[in-house]
């Protein structure tokens, strides 16, 4: 009789298909969610055996024992704390019995995975349970599983790296040669509950000594494919496991339903295999039908993959450095879409209802995002972080945070950026900021430690790679998309181009410009840049300030540095009289049409909070020609 290859030997040659959701099927068989599923190994072994048989019949090769919660902490809740060893040993025995029945009728090779879940309590520093207490609990459970003869220890659905480290240590102490699969679960934003990204998880699990690392539960196959690819890119030599839920759960008529179909899982089985995953299976909501669809897809040599996973960068570094999806702004600029963004000032009080309502109007008109300024004209207003967060949270609309360097020392700069990132703000527009001597508090602190080009460099080359300015780790990289200021109609073009080059070399992703009333000067600027450095590839969102009237135009022309309004436009807005605001909208639309092909978007700055003017401009320009 041929000796069965070890699990790790088997994984060198082909993908291994695991089973699906034990808990889902036990519940469907009539066992209440209030019952202790692990105790069913003793109380209703036939129910557990039936689930194993169904998954084996569907084509699973790795059976996980019904022992996910069979540790002393969770069993205490049901009064079974004295039966840890007995329940775990019974779980292994039932899985082996089901496999023995199948092996009597075929030559397939099967493996038993000892399922170990988190303890259900929080470890220090997030809770009161000490690491040695967790280690003891894992040691007790894993000893019983290994003693009963499992082929691999499957640590799954963990959220805390501190906790899974103790589980791995316990397994290694009991049997240094037992294969250990260590899998964690992630929230919708591709982070664990404690904020760790796939990059850190992959590195940590490998350092802890896991033989197979991976992700389970979380969302559906799409999310886990993305996370699995990141892990593969970070640790190219380690084995990877992915076991997704059948989509995000939905509550329908009081029942938990999972939307992902078996056919969808079949398509992803090929994608997982072609993406370099080594063990694939299912978690919550996955049934024998899902596993059967995956088995049929893997066994069909003629089936062509429908879903192709994205390729990581060379050696995985590009993929691993940015675990998050690009911002909507980044995606639209990359796709060549002309972007409309509108500048809004935060309110002077703590209520933001008017700002939210205006942002909703702009979104409905077709604006892509909102730019939130920071204390314009050095006047006291609500923090723009809060406004960005409220707009994103309530309207699901992209925002850009104006981030002036003036009035911030280097410590505050970095702390404020980390705070913005924690609020899910990713687009940052770096500016110098208005001097305080023109505002409400002329004696306020006005110094700064870093200029805009230096801040762009700090963000892109330090924070976005996981370090602060001093080189200390910040735990995980930020994912800021950074904009910079640009004057397309400067008095000294070469000097402005020299400054722009510094910002581009620092890593700027896009530029917002001062308002433009003379498109020929924009063409001249771009031609001069191309003459010196080649074609400018940095996306430009051109500033556009619709004129409200003759007095407004005269003020801008005579008192705002850098703004020149040509005589034809000045005469036109003056002659408009009471219709000046409408004429101002028409002029802005004409200028933007003239700039089409030279810039990649419009940065609208409506005067006097007349956001309806910006909405009308966007609607006009979005209408078919």
Closest to 122 measured CA to CA, from 114, 112, 133: 133
313, pLDDT greater than 50: no
**Quick one: average pLDDT of 246-253?**
56
What distance in Å separates the CA atoms of residue 607 and residue 552, rounded to the nearest whole number? 9
* Global pTM exceeds 0.75: no
Residue that wins the pLDDT comparison between 267 and 219: 267
3-class secondary structure, 59 = coil
Residue 338 CB coordination number (10 Å): 17
Of 56-60, 403-407, 487-491, the least confident: 403-407
What distance in Å separates the CA atoms of residue 138 and residue 166, rounded to the nearest whole number? 7
What distance in Å separates the CA atoms of residue 158 and residue 567, rounded to the nearest whole number? 68
410, pLDDT greater than 70: yes
- Give burial (CB, 10 Å; 0-12/13-18/19+) of 30: exposed
What distance in Å separates the CA atoms of residue 102 and residue 109, rounded to the nearest whole number? 10
**Quick one: average pLDDT of 271-290?**
93
What distance in Å separates the CA atoms of residue 615 and residue 596, rounded to the nearest whole number? 19
Per-residue model confidence (pLDDT) at position 350: 66
Q: What is the pLDDT of residues 417-465, one digit of tens each?
A: 998 998 899 999 998 754 444 334 344 344 545 777 888 988 998 899 8
**Quick one: average pLDDT of 510-516?**
95
Per-residue model confidence (pLDDT) at position 489: 93
Q: Say what percent of the chain tops pLDDT 90.
A: 65
**Quick one: average pLDDT of 47-60?**
97
The confidence band for 251, taking pLDDT boundaries of 50, 70 and 90, is: very low
Q: What is the pLDDT of residues 351-403, one digit of tens each?
A: 778 889 999 999 999 999 999 988 644 455 688 888 999 999 999 999 999 98
Q: Looking only at Cα atoms, what is the longest distance across the chain?
A: 99
**Quick one: average pLDDT of 244-258?**
59
Per-residue model confidence (pLDDT) at position 322: 44
Residue that wins the pLDDT comparison between 234 and 210: 210
Q: Say what percent of the chain tops pLDDT 70.
A: 90
Q: What is the pLDDT of residues 156-209, one digit of tens each?
A: 999 999 999 999 999 999 999 999 999 999 987 788 888 788 999 999 999 999
Q: What is the pLDDT of residues 93-145, one digit of tens each?
A: 999 999 999 876 667 899 999 999 999 998 887 778 899 999 999 999 999 99
Domains of the chain: 8-320 (3.20.20.330), 338-622 (3.20.20.220)
Per-residue model confidence (pLDDT) at position 601: 97
**Quick one: average pLDDT of 37-55?**
96
Per-residue model confidence (pLDDT) at position 193: 85
Q: 38 to each of 22, 65, 104, 324, 596, how far by Cα in Å?
A: 10, 9, 27, 37, 65
Residues 6+ positions from 499 with CB-CB distance below 8 Å: 453
Return the DSSP state at 596: B
């Amino acid at each position: 009789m041929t000796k069965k290859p070890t699990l790790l030997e088997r994984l060198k040659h082909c993908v291994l298909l695991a089973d699906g959701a034990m808990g889902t099927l036990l519940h469907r068989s009539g066992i209440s969610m209030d019952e202790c599923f692990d105790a069913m190994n003793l109380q209703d072994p036939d129910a557990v055996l039936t689930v194993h048989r169904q998954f084996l019949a569907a084509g699973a090769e790795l059976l996980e024992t019904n022992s996910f919660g069979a540790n002393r902490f969770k069993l205490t809740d049901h009064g079974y704390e004295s039966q840890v060893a007995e329940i775990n040993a019974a779980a292994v025995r039932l899985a082996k019995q089901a496999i023995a029945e199948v092996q009597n009728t075929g030559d397939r090779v099967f493996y038993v995975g000892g399922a170990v879940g988190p303890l259900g309590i929080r470890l220090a520093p997030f809770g009161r349970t000490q690491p040695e207490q967790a280690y003891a609990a894992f040691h007790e459970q894993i000893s019983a599983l290994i003693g009963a003869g499992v082929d691999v220890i499957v640590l799954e659905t963990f959220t805390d790296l501190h906790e899974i480290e103790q589980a791995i240590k316990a397994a290694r102490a009991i049997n240094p040669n037992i294969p250990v699969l260590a899998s964690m679960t992630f929230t919708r934003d591709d982070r664990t509950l404690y904020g760790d990204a796939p990059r850190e998880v992959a590195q940590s699990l490998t350092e802890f000594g896991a033989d197979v690392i991976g992700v389970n539960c979380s969302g559906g196959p799409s999310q886990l494919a993305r996370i699995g690819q990141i892990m593969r890119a970070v640790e190219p030599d380690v084995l990877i496991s992915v076991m997704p839920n059948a989509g995000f759960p939905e509550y329908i008529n009081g029942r938990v339903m999972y939307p992902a179909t078996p056919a969808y899982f079949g398509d992803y089985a090929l994608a997982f295999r072609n993406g370099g995953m080594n063990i694939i299976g299912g978690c919550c909501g996955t049934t024998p039908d899902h596993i059967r669809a995956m088995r049929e897809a893997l066994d069909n040599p003629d089936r062509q993959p429908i879903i192709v996973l994205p390729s990581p960068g060379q050696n995985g570094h590009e993929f691993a450095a940015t675990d998050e999806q690009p911002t909507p702004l980044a995606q639209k600029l990359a796709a060549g879409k002309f972007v409309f963004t509108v500048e809004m000032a935060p309110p002077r009080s703590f209520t933001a209802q008017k700002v939210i309502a205006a942002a909703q109007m702009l979104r409905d008109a077709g604006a892509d995002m909102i730019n939130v300024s920071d204390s314009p004209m050095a006047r006291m207003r609500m923090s723009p972080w809060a406004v960005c967060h409220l707009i994103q949270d309530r309207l699901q609309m992209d925002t850009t945070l104006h981030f002036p360097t003036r009035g911030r020392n280097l410590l505050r700069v970095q702390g404020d950026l980390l705070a913005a990132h924690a609020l899910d703000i990713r687009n940052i527009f770096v500016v110098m900021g208005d001097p305080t001597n023109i505002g409400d508090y002329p004696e306020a602190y006005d110094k700064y430690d870093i200029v805009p080009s230096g801040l762009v460099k700090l963000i892109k080359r330090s924070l976005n790679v996981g370090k602060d300015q001093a080189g200390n780790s910040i735990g995980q990289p930020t994912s800021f998309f950074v904009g910079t200021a640009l004057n397309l109609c400067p008095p000294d073009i070469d000097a402005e181009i020299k400054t722009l080059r510094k910002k581009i070399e620092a890593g700027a992703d896009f530029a917002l410009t001062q308002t433009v009333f003379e498109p020929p000067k924009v063409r001249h600027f771009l031609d001069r840049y191309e003459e010196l450095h080649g074609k400018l590839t940095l996306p430009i969102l051109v500033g556009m300030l619709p004129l409200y009237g003759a007095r407004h135009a005269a003020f801008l022309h005579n008192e705002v540095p850098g703004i020149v309004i040509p005589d034809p436009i000045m005469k036109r807005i003056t002659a408009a009289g009471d219709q000046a605001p409408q004429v101002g909208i028409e002029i802005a639309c004409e200028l933007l049409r003239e700039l089409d092909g030279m810039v990649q978007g419009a940065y609208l700055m409506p005067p006097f909070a007349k956001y309806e003017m910006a909405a009308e401009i966007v609607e006009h320009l979005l209408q078919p020609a």
